Amino acid sequence: MPDWAVPRPRITKLIAEGTQRCPLTIVTGPPGAGKTMALALWAAAEPGTVAWISMDDFDNQPGAFWSYAVAALGRSGVALPAGLSAASRRRASGHMFLLQLASVLAAQSPPVSLVVDDLHVLTKLTVLTELDFILRNAQPGLRMVVSSRVDPLLPLHRYRLAGELTEIRASDLAFSTVEARLLLAQHGSALSADSLGRLMRRTEGWAAGLRLAAMSMDGCSDPDQFVKELITEDSALTGYLVEEVLKGAPPQVREVLLTTSILEHVNAEAASELTGDERAGAILPAMARANAFVQPTGYGWYRYHTLFAEVLRLKLRREYADRVATVHRRAARWYERNGMLTAAVQHATQAGDWQLAATVVIDALAISEIIEPRSSPSLADEFRCMPRGEAWAGPQPYLVA
Footprint on this chain of ligand ATP (rule: CB under 6 A): 4-6, 8, 29, 31-37, 118, 147, 149, 183, 207-208, 211
Nearest distance from residue 355's CB to ligand ATP, in Å?
Answer: 47
Give yes or no for residue 36 binding Mg ion (CB under 5 A): yes
The span from the CA of 78 to the CA of 114, in Å, is 11
The span from the CA of 241 to the CA of 263, in Å, is 19
Q: Distances from the Cα of 34 to the Cαs of 10, 118, 169, 397, in angstroms?
A: 13, 12, 10, 48
Stretch in the footprint of Mg ion (CB under 5 A) among 31-39, 72-80, 185-193, 318-326: 31-39
Q: Are 291 and 303 in contact (CB under 8 A)?
A: no
Nearest distance from residue 287's CB to ligand ATP, in Å?
Answer: 17
Give yes or no for residue 54 binding Mg ion (CB under 5 A): no
Check residue 204 and report its DSSP letter.
T
Nearer CB in complex with ligand ATP: 115/280 = 115
Give Cβ neighbours of residue 92 (< 8 Å, ≥ 6 apart).
Answer: none
> How much of the chain is helix, strand and coil, in % rounded to 5?
60, 10, 30
Which of 60, 27, 44 is CA-nearest to residue 68? 60
Nearer CB in complex with ligand ATP: 8/330 = 8
Residue 211 binds which entry of Mg ion, ligand ATP, none, CB below 5-8 Å type-dependent = ligand ATP
Residue 202 binds which entry of Mg ion, ligand ATP, none, CB below 5-8 Å type-dependent = none
Q: Are 206 and 30 in contact (CB under 8 A)?
A: yes
Closest residue to Mg ion, based on beta-carbon distance: 36
How many Cβ atoms from other residues are within 10 Å of residue 354's Cβ? Answer: 15
What is the SS3 assignment for 297? strand
Q: What are phi and psi of 169, to 5 degrees?
A: -115, 180
What is the SS3 assignment for 52? strand
- Relative to beta strand 294-298, strand 301-304 is antiparallel
Nearer CB in complex with ligand ATP: 173/227 = 173
Nearest distance from residue 79's CB to ligand ATP, in Å?
Answer: 31
Nearer CB in complex with ligand ATP: 307/331 = 307
Stretch in the footprint of Mg ion (CB under 5 A) among 35-43, 119-127, 151-159, 264-272: 35-43
Q: Which residues pair with 232 in a beta bridge?
A: none
Nearest distance from residue 149's CB to Mg ion, in Å?
Answer: 8
Nearest distance from residue 209's CB to Mg ion, in Å?
Answer: 15
Nearest distance from residue 231's CB to ligand ATP, in Å?
Answer: 17
Residue 48 binds which entry of Mg ion, ligand ATP, none, CB below 5-8 Å type-dependent = none
Residue 328 binds which entry of ligand ATP, Mg ion, none, CB below 5-8 Å type-dependent = none
Nearest distance from residue 179's CB to ligand ATP, in Å?
Answer: 8
Residue 8 binds which entry of ligand ATP, Mg ion, none, CB below 5-8 Å type-dependent = ligand ATP
Q: Give me the count of residues in the chain.
A: 401
Binding region for Mg ion (CB under 5 A): 36
